[in-house]
A and B are shown apart, each in its own frame.
Chain A
């Protein structure tokens, strides 16, 4: 027998979870069906909204390469078919409020509309709208003297090099970097979760031992720690370290008890402690995924993992309804997910497609075609595959914008510009028309389109009920 819900969300990443939470807020019964684990743990944990609205315009104009301080003000500079322009700034604000409610004290940044600049493991700074609490003391607009710590066995974070790069980027604080061996036999362990577990449980006094290694380290590294013109002092180690107001670590500071780990290190170092947003696999990304899963559970959203959607049924919509449309879009009636080789039917009233982009598998390609594999929604793309990418590694890649088209309500559009199905919306990476990597807009678009798609799905579900209520009225 088919499983019935008001709204079925296909995909469990940031966009899908946002859509589910937004729909649940409206009182709908919601289910999330996912294939694989989401790509959240591949992401750094930062929630970018918009950093560079015109990233590929004239590179000689430094304005195009300078981050915007207020992402909401910058939305108008985006092209008309950008998802933010389509669903509107209100949907973006709505999505952020869903996110803020769900993440609570795990995240910061909601106190202001301005972007924060966060040091990256690549030694640059990046504009972002929400950042984990563990990252908060490390912001680049904060002028406190900073020491970055790397671990000898960690190839991703080279603290002296990150510090030197940040100095080259002109950050307004003294910053140095040192490399220490993680205590115990754990250095060289390439699993962040193993180091995080040791810190969570304070295995063999690892918190104290790590702090002591850090306090001793500036002496060993001598004058070079803070580069030329820095505040480093070649006197006793503790004197040199005494100038440090905050200490940044690779993102391994606890999985289960991160705040306790940071507090313990901060107390021993007498400095604020923060994490650098990491390259994958990312513990901050994992923490976010767990927190959002908790939020889904609290909101009563059912989650079914490991079941790819393999088929669906469609039926024509009877009659023209009240709006006089001659050919109303058909409806998706049944979704089939594969469960260990069995096709499990779901009969939701509305469907949200949130399967991700090229990375997540929501958009796929062959030598001569780009397509959306679940519902075969049209995906516009140049004919010649050499036009899919730019000759410059960071150029204006067409592939970055591949995805389905949506309207202002998040409905998926057909090739003719009319809704493809009456009850199908889309959110996140599967939506096209924006260059998430260059704009630094990936998470924000997921939140904005997730919010719009979730609410529209509720309205579509309601309108399919025998006694429809006008849910769209308060939109």
Chain B
């Protein structure tokens, strides 16, 4: 029977996008659906560490070896997403000496280049490192932009014929046949997965605010459940048990890069032990707490305090530094049912491919759970091999050799940047973000002013991102970093909306603007003391006092999006429109050419009296 697509990938994080790219490049017809933006789930909520493998060199050497292998691949195929910062495992006097030696030995056993630095040498590299640090191990950790990486995977998949649908939520898994599909018995034939029912929250294709939602059945030869922390919910729809154990962790974003190298605490597993330089910021992480619902869990101030206070032991300046927001991510941890770890930190970081035919008697679907961002490509390759086996397709994996869009011509990057009339720091930042696409994106005929000053994002980049992602300014944000700097959108949210208005109606623009402001506020709230509280007060003055957006007679949220959960456009409407009695207000003094009763004063030509002169 004819299906809409050969393979349907559920989930637009790193794994899903990686699978879509891999299969599309093998000539398989792929459709990917994602409930929010690309990276909406865990991928968009990580600290941006490109593991060297050093973190797992003692506890999990198999993972460590995979990490260093994929670390090298990503430096090659995704150079425009990676910053080769290097990393340190720093040891304080109270940290265990024998663990330090084990770490060093483990790195060497796993093929991770590792070198011991004295405390002084480490501080020469990172001057803000604590005086107490007595030595460190240097490893090739790096920083990676997960947004750029996933977008590049999705674009490459599209370039090879894939269909990518964001803001499209799976509401049911379609199962045909099955002997005892309703009985819930663990054995026997549960039938065939033939596709899913999705709800397009704003119509299919690029998201447009205010577009009505619609349902669609998408049938497929094979379904890959790559929904991470949501994999259990998809399993439930298909009648199989996928026991993901979601675990939350906080990441606190600093206003500048206090360090330019990834700094890890050299001790066995623990909370709050890493600082990752990321773009213009440094990200502090993290905590590890099991949660029941990946979409609804408490974000607590003690977690923010904990990471700042703990990491101050490694980098003392953090105690006084300005944080601009915090965000939480949920690890999609999984362990086989018979392990039964109590503490989430004991759950393995390894990944599992669950073939539901083999495991549950349900044909046509596999789930991928657990795993790490750094090894997403390797995971995608293994899943793709498995799917190809099922479909009888004989394509070869090319994802480790072929560069991602944006990283094809690294040499072109620096050379081309001066041609666009951009001031040099802006040109550098644009070039880093766009990679080898810079020339195409920045080649505009008119002026190309800066929209976001904190992150040096120009209008041409914002326009390009709108072309890619539709009217969703949060999708524009993750592609460009506009509104992600110190002011958290205070100065640029309305400017981004202005760029959007060139392509979309005013009401659509206003909805996207409201949603962006709300999303920025959500994370900003976790940083509100000191300078950042002052920043929040300034932002409120700009948005409420200067623009009166809080009492807009046209209303807020004309499409209902509240920013906290992309896709739920119908939920949570803000204050609606009001009718203002304009006649009750001052229309100006007659001498100013206001609304004078004396017609003569407005018809008399340009005598200065009509424009406030006189």
* Chain B interfacial positions (CB closer than 8 Å to A): 301, 305, 446-451, 459, 491-492, 494-495, 497-499, 501-502, 505-507, 509-510, 517-518, 520-521, 525, 528-530, 533-534, 536-538, 540-554, 556, 574-575, 577-589, 592-595, 602, 605-606, 608, 610-613
A114 part of interface (Cβ distance < 8 Å) = yes
Of listed B301, B495, B506, B530, residue having the most chain A CB within 10 A: B506
A393 at the interface (CB under 8 A from B): yes
Asked whether A116 is an interface residue with its Cβ less than 8 Å from the other chain, the reply is yes
Quick check: A437 and B541 within 8 Å, CB to CB?
yes
Residue interface bits A98-138, CB-to-B below 8 A is 1, else 0: 00000000001101101111001111111100000111110
A121, A153, A393: the one within 8 Å of B546 (CB) = A121
Pick from A51, A273, A384: contact of B611, CB under 8 Å: A273
| Given A169-B580, A272-B593; 12 other pairs, CB 8 A cutoff | A111-B589, A120-B548, A122-B549, A139-B586, A139-B595, A154-B449, A164-B505, A169-B577, A262-B611, A263-B613, A397-B540, A442-B541
Evaluate whether A124 and B547 lie within 8 angstroms (CB atoms) in the complex, with A359-B541, A365-B530, A397-B540 already known.
yes
State how many angstroms separate the Cβ of A388 from the closest Cβ of chain B. Answer: 6
Instruction: Say yes or no: B449 contacts A190, CB within 8 Å.
Output: yes
- Of A59-67, A337-345, A464-472, the one with at least 4 CB within 8 A of chain B: A59-67
**Does A413 make an interface contact (CB < 8 A)?**
no
Given contacts A161-B497, A270-B606, A262 and B612 within 8 Å (CB-CB): yes
Q: Does A168 contact B (CB under 8 A)?
A: yes
**A169 and B459 in contact (CB under 8 A), knowing A127-B585, A153-B447, A164-B506?**
no
Most A CB within 10 A of own CB, among B446, B492, B520: B446
Known: A153-B447, A274-B612, A358-B537. A55 touches B550 (CB 8 A): yes
Interface centre among B505, B533, B584 (most CB of A within 10 A): B533
Interface size class, chain A: 35 or more
Which of A44, A156, A393, A442 has the most chain B CB atoms inside 10 A of its CB?
Answer: A393
> How many residue pairs bridge A and B at CB < 8 Å?
295
Q: Which of B491, B578, B585 has the most CB of A within 10 A?
A: B585
Are the C-beta atoms of B446 and A181 separated by less than 8 Å? yes
**Which one of A62, A67, A109, A152 has the greatest number of beta carbons of chain B within 10 Å?**
A67
Does A267 sit at the interface, judged by CB under 8 A? Answer: yes
Residue of A142, A365, A366 most packed against chain B (CB within 10 A):
A142
Closest-CB distance, A108 to chain B (whole angstroms): 6
Check: A245 CB closer than 8 A to any chain B CB. Answer: yes
Q: Which B residue's beta carbon lies closest to that of A44?
A: B546
A293 within 8 A of B: no
Picked from A188, A272, A385, the residue with its CB within 8 Å of the CB of B529 is: A385
**A223 proximal to B (CB < 8 A):** no
* A436 in contact (CB, < 8 A): yes
Task: Indicate whether A290 reaches chain B with its CB closer than 8 angstroms.
Answer: no
| Most central of A67, A122, A262, A438 by chain B CB within 10 Å | A122
Cα distance A165–B507 when bound, in Å?
A: 8
On chain B, the residues within 8 Å of A69 by CB distance are 581, 584-585
Interface centre among B529, B578, B595, B611 (most CB of A within 10 A): B611
Q: Which residues of B contact A157 (CB under 8 A)?
A: 498
The smallest C-beta distance from B597 to any residue of chain A, in angstroms, reads: 12
Whether a CB of chain B sits under 8 angstroms from the CB of A391 is yes
Q: Which residues in A have their C-beta under 8 angstroms from that of B611?
A: 137, 262-263, 266, 272-274
- Which residues from A are CB-within-8-Å of B447? 152-153, 181, 187-188
A134 CB, min distance to chain B CBs, angstroms = 6
A270 vs B610: C-alpha distance when bound (angstroms)? 10
Nearest CB of A to B475, in Å: 19
- Contact A170–B588 (Cβ < 8 Å): no
Of listed B546, B575, B579, residue having the most chain A CB within 10 A: B546
B554→A124 contact, CB < 8 A: yes
Instruction: Find A266's partner among B554, B595, B610 (CB 8 Å cutoff).
Output: B610
Residue A215, interface by CB 8 Å: no
Q: How far is the CA of A440 from the CA of B546 in the complex (A)?
A: 9
- Chain B CB within 8 A of A205 CB: no
Contact B494 A121 (CB under 8 A): yes
CB distance from A45 to the nearest CB of B (A): 10
The chain A residue with its CB closest to the CB of B320 is A366
CA distance A263 to B606 in the complex (A): 7
Instruction: Give A397 to B494 CA distance when docked, in angstroms.
Output: 22
Q: Is the CB of B580 within 8 A of A389?
A: no
Q: Which residues of A contact B509 (CB under 8 A)?
A: 161
**A136 CA to B588 CA, complexed, in Å:** 6
Q: Contact at B595–A112, with CB atoms within 8 Å?
A: no
CB of A158 within 8 Å of the partner chain: yes
User: Could you tell me if A168 and B506 are in contact, using CB atoms closer than 8 angstroms?
Assistant: yes
Q: In the complex, what's the smallest C-beta–C-beta distance from B365 to chain A, in angstroms?
A: 38
CB distance B545 to A155 under 8 Å? Answer: no
- Shortest B535–chain A CB gap in Å is 9
Cβ of A259 within 8 Å of any chain B Cβ, yes or no, is yes
- A76 at the binding interface (Cβ < 8 Å): no
**Across the interface, which residues of A come within 8 angstroms of B495, CB to CB?**
155-156
Check A475 for interface membership: any CB of B closer than 8 A: no
| 8 A Cβ contacts from A145-194 to B | 152-158, 160-161, 164-165, 167-172, 181, 187-188, 190
When distances are taken between beta carbons in the complex, the residues of chain A under 8 Å from B553 are 124-125, 169-170
Which residues from B are CB-within-8-Å of A75? none
CB-CB contacts of A292-311 with B at 8 A, as 1s and 0s?
00000000000000000000
Contact B554 A400 (CB under 8 A): no
Q: Which residues of A contact B540 (CB under 8 A)?
A: 394, 397, 400, 437
Using A65-B578, A393-B518 as known contacts, say yes or no to A139 and B587 having CB atoms under 8 A apart: yes
Residues of chain B within 8 A of A278, CB atoms compared: 546
Taking a contact as CB atoms closer than 8 A, the residue among B450, B494, B498, B587 that contacts A142 in the complex is: B587
A66 to B533 Cα, complex, angstroms: 29
Give the chain B neighbours of A158 by CB distance below 8 A.
498, 501-502
Contact partner of B301 (CB less than 8 A), chosen from A139, A154, A170, A385, is A385
Q: Which residues of B contact A246 (CB under 8 A)?
A: 593, 610
Q: Which of A140, A168, A394 contacts B554 (CB 8 A)?
A: A168
Cα separation A384 to B499 with both chains bound (whole Å): 39
Chain A residues, Cβ within 8 Å of B498 = 155-158, 161
Find chain A residues with CB under 8 A from B305 CB.
367
Task: State in angstroms the CA–CA spacing of A164 and B501 once bound together.
Answer: 10
Determine if B588 and A188 form an interchain contact, defined as CB atoms under 8 angstroms apart: no
8 Å CB interface, A72-113 against B: 108-109, 111-112
Do residues A155 and B580 form an inter-chain contact, with CB atoms below 8 A?
no
B545 CB to closest chain A CB (Å) equals 5
Query: Which of chain B's residues have a CB closer than 8 A to the CB of A266?
Result: 606, 608, 610-611
* Docked-complex contact B592 and A125, CB < 8 angstroms: no
Nearest B-chain residue to A390, judged by Cβ: B525
A279 touches B586 (CB 8 A): no
Contact pattern, A 418-436, Cβ under 8 Å of B = 1, otherwise 0: 0000000000000000001
Given contacts A121-B546, A385-B301, contact A116 B586 (CB under 8 A): yes
Contact of B592 among A133, A181, A269, A358 (CB under 8 A): A133
Tell me if B587 and A141 are in contact (CB < 8 A).
yes
Of all chain A residues, which has the CB nearest B510?
A165
Closest to A367 in B: B529
Can you list 29 residue pairs at the A/B interface with Cβ under 8 Å? A52-B551, A55-B550, A108-B589, A108-B592, A116-B588, A120-B548, A125-B553, A137-B588, A137-B592, A139-B588, A144-B602, A155-B451, A156-B494, A156-B498, A161-B497, A164-B506, A168-B554, A169-B554, A187-B446, A190-B449, A262-B612, A279-B542, A359-B538, A368-B529, A394-B556, A399-B528, A399-B536, A436-B541, A437-B540
